[in-house]
Structures are given as structure tokens and as C-alpha cells.
Structure 1
Amino acid sequence: MLRAPYNLTQLQAANLHTHADITETMATTPVPSHITLYEFAQVLSRYPATMSALSETNSAPKLAKPDESSELSSEELDLWRLNTLPEVVKARSKPCLMKEELQKLLGCKMARGKRRQALPKLISSNDPSTVTAATTAAFDHLLGVPSPPTTAHIIASLKELTDPLKGVGPATASYILAIMAPDTVPPFSDEAYRWILHSPGREGWGKKIKYDAKEYRTYVEGVKALVERLGGDVTAGEVEKVGFVLGKEGAGFRSTPGPAGATGLSGVDALDAALGLEGGQKTTTPTIPAAPAAPVTESTVTGSTVTGKRKADENRDSEDDAEPSEPRPVQRRRAPAPKRERGR
């Protein structure tokens, strides 16, 4: 996990970049295969400011039954999700969610992304005992395996939530699982998904999302690949935050490596040394090489696709099901050659 909450003011004061370099870094989006630990820390440090700005532009989401969360800003709801709720859930003899907490968590998810007003009513229609039983089973499955959980175990835990609970699809279920395992379970946000699985030069931030278990599985694999490429110094939750920030900033993708940090140092050590903090040590690998994306096959996980008409409410999340087809090139007919007049 990254140790220090670096911010852009500190980086500028440390003279790590010229003004032009900083502008270039913020104007483009480094892709997961090339982002350095140095850049990762820069983007992660902007997450609080991103949520603060979101609070100024977003009103509180409307829930089926008004409660205290209706009076909280997007930033306050997010802090509750990240800090308060995990402590409350873990303090119980059997970790689980109460129905009111699930409703509030949905409000947090909606405050960060799309606001589909049908979901609060569906969540509200669940029996409190069903919510408690489903979340208990999901947490038991997630935590009852060797650590860290495999993608297969994450998807199986996801199904413990999506099958019995109305209005809970893979996206909402991922927020629930992340309460207990933030280091290994990334929330399924539009921005992070598009960043991890973007198509250079074609889709970028416009990539269509179906919000199904198959997409979430591919997303989890992509997040794990990035965590491994950065040497395990970041978590799945931090990867989601970085993708979320980059998505909100909406800059174009940059597919070439960015600045590598201080000379002879890389990642957090480079930042620590430049900012005068402890921990800056010489490293034999000053840059982080790009790694090929790990292939994901259908045989990796079985029985993970969520089906049924009821689940379409959350899975599609108001996005179209089908990818837009490529337009066919217009074929122009050649104009007929003028007839040559014969001599008379």
C-alpha cells in the first residue's frame, strides 16, 4: 500500500518536473501497461480533491426511504464507505450488512456514478433477514479461502449476493465485497473499468459496459495484473481510485511511458527521497517495464455469469447491451466514361 498522501503542490515544490512536464502529465492519461509507481502515487493523491469537487457538483442521491445519508455529500458518503462501515461490519461476531447499511452503500455508489432511481426501490424491497443472510454468506466465502482470494472465489462470492438480493448486480456486489477485502476486491466503477480495459485509439472513456459478471471478472484480472506489475506496492482499491480520478479528469490516453521519477530511484522511494522523507533507497530497477496483458479465458471461472431478466436492471445500468457496429465505408460508383463521337 502506498504510504504517503502526496499532492501536486508537494511534487512541484520538490522540482521533480518542469511546469511543462506537469502539464503534460495531467493532460494525458497513462495506460495501465505503462503507468509508473511515481505517476500512480501522483494520481492517487488527487482522489480526495476529486471527491470534494464531485460533492460540489452532485446533490445527494434520492433513496427509496430518506435517511441520514440523504443529507451527506458525495465525499462524506465515500469516507463512510471507506472508513466507518468496514470497522462496523468487522466488529460483528459474524460480518454482515444490515438492510439500512446496504441502502446507504447504494447511495454512495450512486453518488460516485450513475443514478438509476429504480435501484433504491429494488434494494428497499429486500427483506432485512435476506440481506443479512446473503452478506454473511458472501463474506464467509470470500474470507474462508487462502489469502489472497482468487478471481474464482471473488466471482463465487459475488454470486452469493446477486442471486438472492433484488437490485444487486455485479457492480453493487463489488462495493459490498470491497468492505471486507479492499486490498484484493476493486469496486466496479465505470471509470476504473474503462481505464483498465480501454482500447487505445478507439474507445477510451467511451467504452460500452454491460455490467455483468463476465466483465467484472475480466476487470479483476486486469487490476491484478497491474498490481503485480507495480511489484505489489499498490492495492486493488487504490487501482480503482486511480482509474476513477483519471476517468473524472477525462484526458486522452497516453500509451508511452511517462516520467520515471528521481534519478536512480523509482516509485514511492523516489517520492520519499525528493520530498525529504525517510525510505528513499537506491534500486537496481529504476524503471518499471510494461508487461503484456494476461489472457483471460472462459475456463478460468465456471458458472459465474449472472442471468435472468431481474438482473438486467443492475447489469446494464442504463447502458446499451450491444457494442455500436462499425460503419461500413461508402462505396462510390464510378461515373461512366463519356462516349467518344465517331467521325462522320
Structure 2
Amino acid sequence: MSVTIDITGLPEERVLFTPSPLAELNAMLHVLAEPAHHPALHGWAAGTTTRIPPELAERLSEADFLWRSSRADFLAPGLPGGTLAEELDAIDRIDDELYVRGALITTCGSARFSRRLGSPLTDPAANERARDLATARGPRQAAFADRLLADPPAVRALVRRMLEDCHAVFFADAWQRVLPDLAADARRKADLHARHGLAEAIAAVSPAVALEEDGGRRRIVIDKLQDSTTSGTDGGGVTFIPTVFGRPHLLVVHARGWRPVLQYPVAEAGPAEPVSLALVQQRLEALAHPIRLRLARTIARGPHTTGELAAAWQLSAPEVSRHLAVLRKAGLLITERRGRYMLYQLDLSGSARLGSDFLEAVLR
């Protein structure tokens, strides 16, 4: 499975390698929401959490809809600015329709929903579906979606103020620390592009990204959970954004109406911890089935119900339950009851024992 970006005929200068303060803030917020995805950043996450005032922490919890399981498209700008304020001004120029669709992306299933149905602002069926998906995520997400669909301008203003408050509390200091590394990495990739061509620059981004050229066609192919195709030519170009806090995720914004963006990690993984051969064998056998591997990649990003997994992969609920039972027996699942929903999530600490390559693959 892969995301394919068609760049046939795209001028070379339309491929950018550049840092983005907003994208890095987005990555930091994801670390705070999902620290288990980022074991190397546990110290930073714990220290930062203690600095955040309770009122801001409450607002971040209510809005983690935007960056926990998936990322709102507008948080990865196609044309990054020099400052966070410039990038927030650019978000303000996005119309409500694009903003709301971007904000409602929480899982692969909801991404498919947003393309199939009409506008959740005007189509009752799409509106109801958006509210159902948010309710399955939890009461805070449901409340956020209700407010967003009822009054987009008010929520947009609230989100901007929240991001500005994050800048004041913790982002400004962290950004100054990582900006030299991000700028240096972007310069190295741009230099490879200029001197040796796009294929070599892309190969340096990640082994999960490749440039394919065939019969005059050029495509950037990224190993991801879903099969999707978009056009860099129609979007005006492609942007590669380095990240320190985003590792191990390989974030791709490829929705219709957005310039394709790929946020790639510059940090390296730590070594995997040793485990018993019997445990490794049991977990590898559990993950050997292609459907179970798909389910694992889905629930690695956040908790899902059986119904959500069945809808996302066009399976029956009993079939999903059988596969989840195998993963649970191998000690790879975390379960949580939230109201009438039972949520399933991949145990990332246990999965990490299989090795950093596996962890990066499921979180890509």
C-alpha cells in the first residue's frame, strides 16, 4: 500500500525542502497527546506537560482531534512561512469548507468519508456521519465536532489562540533549539536535489519514499497504510518538511485541494531491547497475516472500535474480532472501555521489542 504523488511535468523548482514552525508545533502536540509513539521524547513530554497551565491543557485535550490519530491537513503548510504567525495567517485565509474537512480527519475511515459524502456543513448525511465518528473517539472529540460544525469561525479563532498560547508556553524555546538542525537538513536535501537530482534527494528523505520514472511519467511513492493517488502538478508543487519531534512518523498531506506535503523525520531510532525467541516468534506469527498487519498499522495510530476497523477495511465485525483475539493473545493489544465502546490499540512498547524497523513501519 502506498500514497502516490504524480509529478509528471512538474518543474524541478516546484519541489521544496524547507522547515515549518507550524508543522513542528503540530508534531510536538502529537508527542504530548501520544507519548507512547515517541519513547525517546518521554522526558521532554513529561517536562513540557508540567509547564502547561491547566486551562490550556484542557483546551489542548478538547482539540486533540486535530493531531492525535491523524493530522489536520492545514497544520502541514504547503508553503511554509518564516514564523508561526505567518503560517497562522495563511490558515485564516482557508475557507470554512476546507478547514472543517481537514479538522474532521481522525482515522483512515473518516478520510474516506470526507471524500465520498458531501460537505458536513450543508449535507445532513455527511454532518451526521462526522458526528458519529467523533462520538466514537470520545466525549471531548464529540463536543469539539459539535462546536466546529455549528460555528466554524468561532472554533477557528479558538484554535488559533490555543496555538499562539502554545508558542508562548513551550514552543518558542523548543523551536529555537531544533531550527538549526531542521534548516541544515533541508539545505542538505535541497543541495542533493540541485546537484544530483530529485531521486537522490528523495532517497535521502526515507527508505519508505522513492521516485519512480516510467515512460515519461514521474511519481513519488510513499509506503503508507492506505492506497491513494494525488497530483503535485495540480497542487502547484510538492513540499518536504523535516521534523525532529515527528519521528518515527512519515506524515503525508495528500487530500484534494491541498498542495502535497511530506513531513519526514531527521532523528535516528534508538536500539531495540532484547526479548526472548519464543515471544518474538509468537508476535511475528500473529502479525504474519496481512489483515492483522493492516489492523495493527491502523490501531498503532490510536484506539479504534471493532466497528470502525470493520468499516475501514470492509470486513465483518466477527472477522475483525477473531484477528484482534490473535493479537491480544500475543500481548500486542491494549483495550479500553469508553462508555458503550470497547477500543483497541496496539501496545507500542511491546511492539517496539520487535525492532525499530517494525515500529517505524506501523507508525509510518
TM range (shorter): under 0.3
Normalising by structure 2, we get a TM-score of 0.25
Specify which structure has the higher proportion of helix. Answer: 2
Rg larger in structure: 1
Specify which structure has the higher proportion of strand. Answer: 2
